[in-house]
Amino acid sequence: MGFMAILTTQKSKSVAQVSEEKLIEIIVRSLGRACPPFPAGPGGDCAIIPQTEKAKFRVSTIDSVILGRHFDSSCSGSLAGKKLVERNLSDLAAAGAKPKDALLSLFIGPNVNLAWLKDFAQAVGRTASRAGMNINGGDVCRVQAGQFSATLFVQGFSQRILTRTTCQAGDRLFVTGELGGSLLGHHCHFRARVAEGLWLAQQKSTTACTDLSDGMLKDLPGLIGKKWDAMVDTEKLPLRPAAHQMAKKDGRSALEHALQDGEDYELLFCVKAKDASSFAQKFQKQFPQTRLTEIGFIKKGKGLVRSLKDKQPLLGKGFSHFA
Amino acid sequence: MGFMAILTTQKSKSVAQVSEEKLIEIIVRSLGRACPPFPAGPGGDCAIIPQTEKAKFRVSTIDSVILGRHFDSSCSGSLAGKKLVERNLSDLAAAGAKPKDALLSLFIGPNVNLAWLKDFAQAVGRTASRAGMNINGGDVCRVQAGQFSATLFVQGFSQRILTRTTCQAGDRLFVTGELGGSLLGHHCHFRARVAEGLWLAQQKSTTACTDLSDGMLKDLPGLIGKKWDAMVDTEKLPLRPAAHQMAKKDGRSALEHALQDGEDYELLFCVKAKDASSFAQKFQKQFPQTRLTEIGFIKKGKGLVRSLKDKQPLLGKGFSHFA
Low-confidence ranges of chain B (pLDDT < 50): 1, 317-323
Q: Looking at the 3D structure of chain B, how many domains does it have? A: 2
**Domain assignment present for A274:** yes
**Is B143 found in the same domain as B19?**
yes
B84, part of any domain = yes
Amino acid at B94: A
Q: Which residues 270-289 on chain A approach chain B with CB closer than 8 angstroms?
A: none
User: What is residue A320's predicted lDDT score, i.e. its pLDDT?
Assistant: 36
What does the alpha-carbon distance between residue B58 and residue B230 come to, in Å, rounded to a whole number?
A: 29
Q: Which residues of B touch A139 (CB under 8 A)?
A: 61-64
The number of C-beta contacts closer than 8 angstroms across A and B is 166
In this predicted complex, what is the ipTM?
0.93
Q: Do A203 and A296 sit in the same domain of this protein?
A: yes
Predicted local distance difference test score (pLDDT) of residue B218 = 93
Kindly state whether B97 is in contact with chain A, defined as any CB-CB distance less than 8 angstroms.
yes
CB contact under 8 A, B60 and A151: no
Strand A137-142: give its sheet, edge to edge.
Answer: A137-142, A98-108, A148-158, A57-66, B47-50
Chain A residues inside the 8 Å CB shell of B220? none
Shortest Cα distance, chain B CAs vs residue A2, angstroms: 30
A264 in contact with chain B, both atoms CB, cutoff 8 A: no
State which of A134, A158, A182 marks the end of a domain: A158
Contact: A60, B94; criterion CB under 8 Å: no
Residues 17-46 of A with CB under 8 A from B: 38-39, 43-46
Residues B130 and B186 in one domain: no
Same domain, A201 and A112: no
Distances (CA, A) of A212 to A90, A94, A216, A229: 9, 9, 6, 18
Q: Is residue B167 part of a domain?
A: no
Contact list in A for residue B44 (CB cut-off 8 A) is 95, 163-164, 210
pLDDT at B316: 58
Question: CB B59 to CB A49 under 8 A?
Answer: yes
Is B239 inside a domain boundary? yes
> Could you tell me if A141 and A220 lie in one domain?
no
At B77-136, the pLDDT tens digits run 999 999 999 999 999 999 999 999 999 999 999 999 999 999 999 999 999 999 999 999
Separation CA B126–CA B78 (nearest Å): 10
State the nearest Cα–Cα gap between B164 and chain A, in angstroms. Answer: 6
Query: What's the pLDDT score for residue B260?
Result: 94
Question: Cα–Cα distance between B47 and B5 in angstroms, integer?
Answer: 32
Q: Does B50 touch chain A (CB under 8 A)?
A: yes
Cα(B32)–Cα(B29) distance, rounded to whole angstroms? 5
* Domain's final residue, options B131, B158, B185: B158
Contact B56 A50 (CB under 8 A): yes
* Contact list, B91 vs chain A (CB under 8 Å): 45-46
B150's CB contacts (< 8 A; 6+ apart) are B64, B65, B80, B81, B84, B104, B105, B106, B107, B120, B124
Return the closest-CA partner of residue B108 out of A66, A216, A231: A66
Residue B132 lies in a domain: yes
Q: What is the CATH number of the domain that holds A186?
A: 3.90.650.10
Would you write out chain A's pLDDT as a tens digit for each of its 323 residues? 457 899 999 999 999 999 999 999 999 999 999 999 999 999 999 999 999 888 999 999 999 999 999 999 989 999 999 999 999 999 999 999 999 999 999 999 999 999 999 999 999 999 999 999 999 999 999 999 999 999 999 999 999 999 998 999 999 999 999 999 999 999 989 999 999 999 999 999 999 999 999 999 999 999 999 999 999 999 999 999 999 999 999 999 999 999 999 999 999 999 999 999 999 999 999 999 999 999 999 999 999 999 999 999 997 543 433 32
Dihedral angle sign, alpha carbons of residues A7, B105, B209, A54: positive
Is residue B81 domain-shared with residue B151, that is, in the same domain? yes
Residue of A nearest to B102 (CA): A60
Residue of chain A whose alpha carbon sits nearest to that of B63: A139
Tell me, yes or no, whether B266 and B148 share the same domain. Answer: no
B268 CA: distance to closest CA in chain A (Å): 12
CB-based contact B299:B169 (threshold 8 Å): yes
The CA-atom distances, in angstroms, between A164 and each of A221, A222, B19, B318 are 10, 7, 22, 59
**B185 in the same domain as B120:** no
Would the CB atoms of B46 and A141 count as touching at under 8 Å? no
CB contact under 8 A, A61 and B48: no
Contact between chains at A60 and B103 (C-beta distance less than 8 A): yes
Q: 10 Å Cβ neighbour count for B196?
A: 22
Q: Do A39 and B161 touch (CB under 8 A)?
A: yes
- Asked whether the beta carbons of residue A153 and residue B91 sit closer than 8 angstroms, the reply is no
Interface test mutation site (partner A, options B46, B160, B226, max chain A beta carbons within 10 A): B46
Q: Do B56 and A53 touch (CB under 8 A)?
A: no
* Rounded-to-integer distance, Cα A227 and Cα A237, Å: 23
**What pairing do the DSSP bridges indicate for beta strands A228-232 and B47-50?**
unpaired
- Quick one: pLDDT at residue A163? 92
Residue A54: the pLDDT is 86
What pLDDT does A220 receive? 96
Q: Kindly state whether residue A6 falls inside one of the protein's structural domains.
A: no
Q: Is A97 on the interface with B (CB under 8 A)?
A: yes
Pair A299, A216 in one domain: yes
Residues of A (121-150) whose Cβ lies below 8 Å from B: 136-139, 141-144, 149
B232 and B124 within one domain: no
- Nearest beta carbon to residue B139 from set A58, A64, A92: A64
Last residue of a domain, one of A102, A125, A158: A158
Whole-prediction pTM value? 0.94
Let me know whether A201 and A311 are in one domain.
Answer: yes
Whole-angstrom distance, CA of residue A203 vs CA of residue A223: 18
**Residue B26 sits in which domain range?**
13-158
Question: Among partner residues B62, B136, B164, which is closest to A105 by beta-carbon distance?
Answer: B62
Q: Clarify whether residues B146 and B180 are in a common domain.
A: no
Within-domain flag for A12: no
Is A323 a domain residue?
no
Distance CA B43, CA B36 (A): 11
